[in-house]
């Protein structure tokens, strides 16, 4: 079972009622798996005619109170942004998986982290947020899917799971187990027939003076709650670290290897791995930012998350960036070299 298939099985375990998707590499194992398993479970699988259709099928299914998801890769996710904006406006839950590739445009099908802005800033229009989960192992792909459906229902938001082709193809042992789910609010907003109650209306149109402002402020309050309660990140050997490396997803695995080697050489390196990219672990980073350390952000991009790291560090320490854009993957030795250079440049005592 590869990462993409594990993720798909986890969605089934999470109670996903309907999957909609359009073919695109490198995530085709997800629809292929779902096409077989969903009917077995008596659930819905549809190969749509385009990504626009897929996200709007999610929109429709979600409106009925059912758990719905789609998956695609970068260019396909670009097409879905319009739908995601409307889902946010209508406050409907949805799970969207992006197994990223290199861009802009058609780019290539290699792993890349160049959709960070798209994921965390929202490629669609309007004042809205999506929760973004960035797994770095196959087990975490499973865990993120289980969490994603719960978060989506709890906050009535789109939850994006952001992984890449390496994780999608990777094979690792996993435990597929449904953990006790959090208490979720009733879906009293769903279109289930208006018999004996007031009708429910799903919409993102808010005309009338001040009505949209009120709606936006309600969303804002909800997003602040998410920021307060749902940040996930992992830290390792940060306490005595003179260099703190920040990386997510597959890059964090390479960082872990480089940091271990650096420690062997006596360089005090620790790392922070954001699991939620939004909400970003701003506080966690801010807390450990001081003038005695350097922050090194490593990404498979030309520099996107580094902006959030800089905001978190807020000038309290230097923030250095190392990135490989265009679908290139940094090696452990390459990162180790970078870490060594930093010790020279900033005269960190070993």
Partner 1 sequence: MDTQIFDMHNIDIAWCPGCGNFPILKTLKQALAELEIEPANLVLVSGIGQAAKIPHYFKTNVFNGLHGRALPAATAIKAANPALTVISESGDGDMYGEGGNHFLHTIRRNPDITNIVHNNMVYGLTKGQASPTSQIGFKTPVQVGGVFLEPFNPLAVAIALDASFVARCFAGDAEQTKEIIKKAIKHKGYALVDIFQPCASFNKLNTYEWFKKHTYYLEDSHDHSNKNEAFKKATEEEKFPLGIFYIKPDKKTFEENIGIYQENQQPLYERKPNTGKLHSLIETFKFAD
Ligand X SMILES: Cc1ncc(C[n+]2csc(CCOP(=O)(O)OP(=O)(O)O)c2C)c(N)n1
Contact residues: ligand X, CB under 6 A: 22-24, 51, 75-76, 79
49: partner contacted, choices ligand X, partner 1, none (Cβ within 5-8 A by kind):
partner 1
- 34 with 54: CB under 8 angstroms? no
Q: Which residue has the tokens 């997803």?
A: 249
> Counting contacts by CB under 8 A, is residue 24 touching partner 1?
yes
35: partner contacted, choices ligand X, partner 1, none (Cβ within 5-8 A by kind):
partner 1
CB of 117 to partner 1, least distance (A): 20
- Lateral strand order in the sheet of 68-72: 44-47, 18-21, 68-72, 94-100, 158-164, 131-133, 276-278
> Counting contacts by CB under 8 A, is residue 35 touching partner 1?
yes
Residues sharing a CB contact under 8 Å with residue 37, sequence separation 6 or more, in sequence order: 8, 9, 12
Q: What is the largest CA-CA distance in the chain?
A: 73
Residue among 105 and 210 whose Cβ is closer to ligand X: 105
DSSP string covering 146-204: HHHHHHHHHHT-EEEEEEEHHHHH--------PPPPPP----TTS-S--TTSPPP----
- 24 with 49: CB under 8 angstroms? no
What Rg value do the Cα atoms of the chain yield, rounded?
21
Question: Residue 338, Cβ neighbours under 10 Å: how many?
Answer: 18
Tell me which DSSP letter residue 314 carries: T
> Counting contacts by CB under 8 A, is residue 28 touching partner 1?
yes
Residue among 18 and 335 whose Cβ is closer to partner 1: 18
> Counting contacts by CB under 8 A, is residue 257 touching partner 1?
no
Among 1, 13, 32, 260, interactor with partner 1 by CB under 8 A: 32
182: partner contacted, choices ligand X, partner 1, none (Cβ within 5-8 A by kind):
none
> Counting contacts by CB under 8 A, is residue 75 touching partner 1?
yes
Residue among 24 and 319 whose Cβ is closer to partner 1: 24
> Counting contacts by CB under 8 A, is residue 41 touching partner 1?
no
List the beta bridge partners of residue 132.
160, 278
CB of 21 to partner 1, least distance (A): 9
Give the residue at shortest CB distance from ligand X: 24
Residue among 106 and 201 whose Cβ is closer to partner 1: 106
- 308 with 280: CB under 8 angstroms? yes
CB of 9 to partner 1, least distance (A): 16
150: partner contacted, choices ligand X, partner 1, none (Cβ within 5-8 A by kind):
none
CB of 75 to ligand X, least distance (A): 4
**Residue numbers at the binding site for partner 1 (CB under 8 A):** 22-25, 28, 31-32, 35-36, 39, 47, 49-50, 75, 105-106
């Amino acid at each position: 079972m590869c990462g993409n298939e594990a993720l798909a099985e986890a969605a089934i375990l999470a109670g996903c009622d309907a999957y909609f998707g359009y073919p695109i590499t490198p995530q085709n194992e997800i629809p292929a798996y779902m096409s077989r398993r969903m009917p077995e479970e008596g659930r819905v699988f549809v190969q749509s005619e385009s990504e626009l259709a897929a996200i709007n099928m999610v929109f429709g299914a979600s409106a009925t109170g059912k758990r719905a998801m789609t998956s695609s890769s970068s260019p396909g996710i670009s097409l879905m942004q319009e739908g995601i904006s409307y889902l946010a406006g209508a406050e409907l839950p949805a799970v969207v998986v992006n197994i990223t590739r290199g861009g802009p445009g058609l780019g290539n099908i290699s792993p890349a982290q160049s959709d960070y802005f798209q994921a965390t800033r929202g490629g669609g229009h309007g004042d809205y947020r999506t929760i973004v989960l960035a797994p770095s192992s196959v087990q975490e792909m499973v865990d993120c899917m289980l969490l994603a459906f719960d978060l989506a229902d709890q906050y009535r938001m789109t939850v994006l799971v952001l992984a890449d082709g390496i994780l999608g193809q990777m094979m690792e042992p996993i435990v597929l187990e449904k953990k006790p789910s959090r208490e979720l609010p009733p879906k009293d907003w769903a279109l289930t027939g208006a018999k004996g109650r007031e009708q429910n209306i799903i919409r993102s149109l808010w005309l009338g003076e001040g009505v949209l402002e009120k709606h936006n402020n309600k969303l804002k309050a909800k997003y602040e709650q998410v920021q307060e309660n749902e940040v996930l990140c992992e830290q390792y050997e940060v306490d005595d670290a003179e260099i703190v490396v920040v990386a997510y997803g597959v890059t964090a695995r390479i960082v872990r290897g480089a940091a271990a080697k650096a420690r062997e050489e006596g360089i005090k390196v620790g790392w922070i791995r954001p699991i939620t990219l939004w909400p970003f672990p701003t506080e966690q980073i801010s807390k450990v930012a001081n003038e005695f350390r350097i922050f090194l952000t490593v990404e498979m991009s030309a520099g996107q998350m580094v902006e959030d790291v800089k905001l978190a560090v807020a000038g309290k320490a230097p923030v250095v960036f190392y990135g490989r854009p265009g679908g290139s993957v940094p090696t452990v030795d390459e990162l180790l070299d970078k870490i060594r250079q930093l010790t020279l440049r900033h005269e960190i005592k070993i």
